Amino acid sequence: MTSHFHRILQSFPKGHSLAFAYGSGVFKQVGHKSVRDNMMDFIFAVKDPLEWHQANVALNPKHYSALRYGGHHLITNIQENWGAHIYFNTLVPTHEGVMKYGVISRQSLITDLLDWETLYVAGRLHKPVYMLYQDPDDDELKNALKINLYGALHAALLMLPESFSEEQLFMMLAGLSYSGDFRMLVGEDKNKVFNIVRAQTQEFRLLYSPILSELDEYVIVDHFKGMGEQDTSPPARLYHLSMLPKKLQLMIIKEWNRDGRSRDLEDVLRAAAHDSDSADVIIKGVQEIVQKSSLTQSIKGIITAGVVKSIKYSFSKLKKMWKSLRR
């Protein structure tokens, strides 16, 4: 199954630190008969976006909209300074099927993984992906990928009760990056998170089991029984809160200080650890991050894809949504 992904990768310039495939064109999802019937999604994290786009425009000019006539400097400027710091080419025909691919700089990816600056690519990596390439010598990126998963688990546990099912945990983890995404209201399968988790339970276990084993002081998940239990005491909650990514912590401070007071991070986290309603504040913080990045990236996508491809892509999304509503 995976050999055709590697063949596709060969048709792009080198210079990436990370390349992965994801979505319904890679993994089975409930409601989809075959992965080969769906568009394949790829993301490339590249070391030098300017150099990479220059090479790719020369190699694959038809992948780009009319923006290619503005040159690789314009393309890179749009990637780096608009939306979620990622540039997508969509509805690209290949010998292996139709694909969409995003290009993000290695540094922007690391920032998103560590801080959840946009949660756009970091959120995608909360779910199983098929790694096509990862620079074996890039320890900074390797650590950032792991820290991103820790952040997701800390956030999910703060929003779950003392006892929960394994499916609830995975639904929470998978749903973080869709929370606040306006595309979930218009243009996405209404059962998307459920479809991902129900069909990929084993992949979620493989992804999160190593991290859960390192947090066994705070949470235990029994995969055989499909149930989990966690410590929900204020000290445990304070630990989870203190380990959240920086952008989410800033959102929590902002929400906590809406009464006009000016509490610092330490005071806010301590108060939140004792507040039974703090899960709502965390959810709102995640929603605000995702809402902004998903909206600005979607507007950017109309420009980078061009009008015709944007209409075709939007129509295919609406068809998916309509099918999900009829089920």
The model's pLDDT over 123-175, given as tens digits with 9 standing for 90+, comes to 999 999 999 999 999 999 999 999 999 999 999 999 999 999 999 999 999 99
List, in order, residues 6 or more apart from 138 with CB less than 8 Å away. 17, 106
Lowest mean pLDDT among 182-196, 210-224, 236-250: 182-196
Predicted model pTM: 0.90
Strand order in the sheet with 16-22: 86-94, 97-105, 40-46, 16-22, 130-134
The model's pLDDT over 90-105, given as tens digits with 9 standing for 90+, comes to 999 988 889 999 999 9
The model's pLDDT over 258-272, given as tens digits with 9 standing for 90+, comes to 887 888 999 999 999
Lowest mean pLDDT among 215-224, 287-296, 316-325: 316-325
Mean pLDDT of 18-25: 91
Lowest mean pLDDT among 152-161, 277-286, 314-323: 314-323
Domain that holds residue 80: 3-326
Q: If pLDDT is split at 50, 70 and 90, which confidence band does 33 have?
A: low
User: Does the structure show a pLDDT above 70 at 65?
Assistant: yes
Mean pLDDT of 200-214: 96
Mean pLDDT of 277-302: 89
What pLDDT is recorded for position 125? Answer: 97
Mean pLDDT of the chain: 88
User: Does the structure show a pLDDT above 80 at 320?
Assistant: no
Task: Show the CA angle centred on residue 297, arms to residues 293 and 299, nearest 5°.
Answer: 125
Residue 243's Cβ-side half-sphere holds a number of Cα atoms within 13 Å equal to: 20
**Is the pLDDT higher at 192 or at 266?**
266
Q: If pLDDT is split at 50, 70 and 90, which confidence band does 69 have?
A: very high
Mean pLDDT of 24-49: 81
The residue type found at 295 is: L
Q: If pLDDT is split at 50, 70 and 90, which confidence band does 306 have?
A: low
Beta strands, E only, the chain: 16-22, 40-46, 86-94, 97-105, 130-134, 163-165, 219-222, 227-230
The residue type found at 323 is: K
User: Does the structure show a pLDDT above 80 at 32?
Assistant: no
What pLDDT is recorded for position 116? Answer: 97
- Are 292 and 158 spatial neighbours (Cβ–Cβ below 8 Å)? no
Distance CA 189, CA 108 (A): 29
Lowest mean pLDDT among 81-85, 240-244, 257-261, 280-284: 257-261
What pLDDT is recorded for position 315? Answer: 44
What pLDDT is recorded for position 3? Answer: 77
User: Does the structure show a pLDDT above 60 at 317?
Assistant: no
269-277: long-range contacts (C-beta < 8 A, 24 or more apart)?
269/238, 269/241, 269/242, 270/238, 272/237, 272/241, 273/234, 273/235, 273/237, 273/238, 273/241, 274/234, 274/237
- Residue 143: in which H helix or E strand, if any? helix 139-158
What pLDDT is recorded for position 220? Answer: 97
Lowest mean pLDDT among 211-225, 280-294, 302-316: 302-316
Number of domains making up the chain:
1
